[in-house]
Amino acid sequence: MTDEPAADATHPPPSHPRPRRAVLLSLFAGLAVFAYTFDQLTKLWVTGTMIEGERIPVLPPLLHWYYIRNSGAAFSIGENVTWVFTIIMAGVSVAILLQIRKLGSAWWALALGLLLGGALGNLTDRLFREPSFAMGHVVDFIQLPNFAIFNIADSAVVSAVAIICLLTLKGIALDGTRHAASRASADPGPQKTVPAKPEEPGND
């Protein structure tokens, strides 16, 4: 005989328990710190060992280090409105921190950690690099064939956006639950059967 209560048939235990909040926050913070630190260390290495405009073959012709200072957004977009992207990156960072209290998914923790780390990496350049506060140039150095030159922060942001798009398509919300529409499409439920109409007796 056991003292454990029997499981309620109407409320079965979840088959996939959600990760603990502390684990999710640790994953989020760890990825944000990693992305930010990796981005800043690589930029420090580039500015300390290369001169602007220098190109170093790494895996030619696929990959080169090519040091440029970007006054625009990611991938050299919008170079004439630097202050706009400074505000956007600051706003994105604040919005992420405000939404963390709803975090209930490891994949969302991964995406938001990368997004915050990447946004803060480029925001640091905007705020503290030349030519002036909030108008600084971002250090870009990764060059691929027929593609814009970018950095680690850009890569983190793009990876995060790709993960968020996949989570949205799968209907997985920030708190780890699935949207009703997604559940309905996966489980249409019992189908209603329409009784056949009785045939009318024919004339003999």
Q: Which residue has the tokens 């995406």?
A: 111
Catalytic residue among 3, 39, 154, 187: 154
67 vs 50: CA distance, rounded Å? 7
Mark whether 204 is an active-site residue: no
Whether the ω angle into residue 195 lies within 30 degrees of 0, i.e. cis, is no
Mark whether 175 is an active-site residue: no
What are residue 174's DSSP bridge partners? none
Q: Which residue has the tokens 């140039």?
A: 137
Catalytic residue among 3, 39, 125, 140: 140
Residue type, 12: P
Residue 43 Cα distances to 83, 141, 145, angstroms: 21, 8, 21
Is 108 in contact with 167 (CB distance < 8 Å)? Answer: yes
Residue type, 96: I
Order the strands of the 63-70 sheet from edge to edge.
Answer: 55-59, 63-70, 138-143
| Residues with catalytic roles | 140, 154
